[in-house]
Structure 1
């Protein structure tokens, strides 16, 4: 029998339950929704979670579509799933845990006796470290972003190639290969010897169906490639970036993008203009280097010095 919280599944079974992570302000138990899919034959273990950031919902949408299609009688190995990781932020529709104003994906491996967020990190990482592979489903918050998979361990890490392979298998078309901040699950997992990736399924308010579908297909690619399920995965070339250039606005006004999300730009390409409310151009912002327009703000109004967009740089094909 395989257990995760109150979910218990014998071989050939699927079960859902709850994983306790602390108590709310009224003393009631705070629990995360979890699932265990236990295959009929032995194999690897995959850990997946969504909504580490409470307003990033495309991963939840992907799991909502993946889990009903899983038949444990056709599965080898085990899948452990946390459907919503950042409970308090998810309930409020916010990015960070409002109990302690902390970002969950900066607190791994956590502390079971620590803050609210540290306790959630400790509980979810306790499940994740049981796995052979970790997929941490994210999105670009509520900004606009291409679909990508992030490899966050750094190129000198002993598991870098394994993480990069997992990212390519997931197959969003773009990979960001750049060492991430301390406390990210995609940093801590490889340190424990577990290949880990961070798919960023676009960026949306609510569900974006195209990005959700990238997540569904990516999960099934992983399940087939690593022999959880029968089936062949065709490995497609991925466009890889190893850096970011961020651009802000030197003036306040209305942003008008001159290139499309995902479009290749060269040094000197006009990325966006800023006009006043009557349409008079106040500034033209050009790219400092070649790359791909990777991420943009969603709302056109901008203040001076405010973030507008990011360009992925150091591009190659993997």
Structure 2
């Protein structure tokens, strides 16, 4: 019998429940939606979570489709899932936890006696540490972004190769391989000996069906490659970036992009132009380095110094 919060499943069973993380301001108990899929035979444990950023919904879409498709009768091992980590941010479609104005994916490993975000991080990290592999599902907030997987432990970490292998198995096509900020689950969990990656499933407002499809395929790739389910994975070469060049606007106005997501960029290529409201050119921005056009703002209007786009640099394939 495997239990996560109020979800409890015997071999060959699936159950859903709630993982308690505290109370709201009126004293109501708050529980994160969670699931246990307990395979009929022994095996490893996979932990998957979504929406640690409250407006990043594609990961929820992935779990919404994956969990009903995983048949515990043919599963070897266990899948533990937390469907919405940033409960408070999700309720109001905000990126950060509004209770303490914190980005949840900077709060790990958490603190059982700390702030709201630290307490949620502590509870979910305790669940994640029970696993042999971790997938922390994200997306590019409301920016437009390619589908990628982030390896955040750092290239000198003892688990780097294992995390990179997990990213390749997930198979979005693109990998960002750079040590992440303190407090990220994909940065902290490898220190516990658990290969962990952070799939960034595109970027949208609401649901993006294509990115959700990629995420569903990625989770099943992992389940098959690591022996949870029968079947083999045909792993393709991934395009890897090991750095970012980020570009802001030198002037206020309207953005016109001259590059498309995923496009290979050469030094000096025009990335975007800024015009005034009536179309008069104010600025033309070119690439500082070779790379891949990785991410861009969604809305055309921009103020001086405001973020516009990113180019993935130090690109190779593996």
Distance, in Å, in 1 between the alignment partners of 2:142 and 2:272 is 20
CA deviation string 1:234-289 (max 9, x = no partner): 01000000000000010000000001111011000000000001001100000000
Q: Is 2:30 the partner of 1:20? A: no
CA deviation string 1:39-88 (max 9, x = no partner): 01110000000001000000000110111111100100000000001000
Distance, in Å, in 2 between the alignment partners of 1:189 and 1:92 is 28
- Using structure 1 for the length normalisation, give the TM-score: 1.00
Say how many residue pairs are matched.
Answer: 318
Q: CA deviation at 1:109?
A: 0.5
SS at match of 1:229: coil
4+ runs deviating over 3 angstroms: none
Distance, in Å, in 2 between the alignment partners of 1:189 and 1:234 is 27
Q: Tell me the residue number matched to 2:317.
A: 317
- Using structure 2 for the length normalisation, give the TM-score: 1.00
Q: Tell me the residue number matched to 1:124.
A: 124
Q: CA deviation at 1:296?
A: 0.2
Q: CA deviation at 1:27?
A: 0.3
CA deviation string 1:269-315 (max 9, x = no partner): 00000000100110000000000010000000000110000000000
SS at match of 1:72: coil
In structure 1, runs of 5+ residues without a counterpart are none
Q: Tell me the residue number matched to 1:32.
A: 32
Q: CA deviation at 1:120?
A: 0.3
Q: Report 1:248-259 matches (<5 A).
A: 248-259=248-259
Q: Report 1:164-175 matches (<5 A).
A: 164-175=164-175
Distance, in Å, in 1 between the alignment partners of 2:261 and 2:70 is 33
Distance, in Å, in 2 between the alignment partners of 1:141 and 1:54 is 9
Q: Tell me the residue number matched to 1:194.
A: 194
Distance, in Å, in 1 between the alignment partners of 2:296 and 2:113 is 38
Q: Tell me the residue number matched to 1:180.
A: 180
Q: Is 2:308 the partner of 1:294? A: no
Distance, in Å, in 2 between the alignment partners of 1:303 and 1:268 is 23
Distance, in Å, in 2 between the alignment partners of 1:126 and 1:314 is 35
SS at match of 2:167: helix
Q: Tell me the residue number matched to 1:143.
A: 143
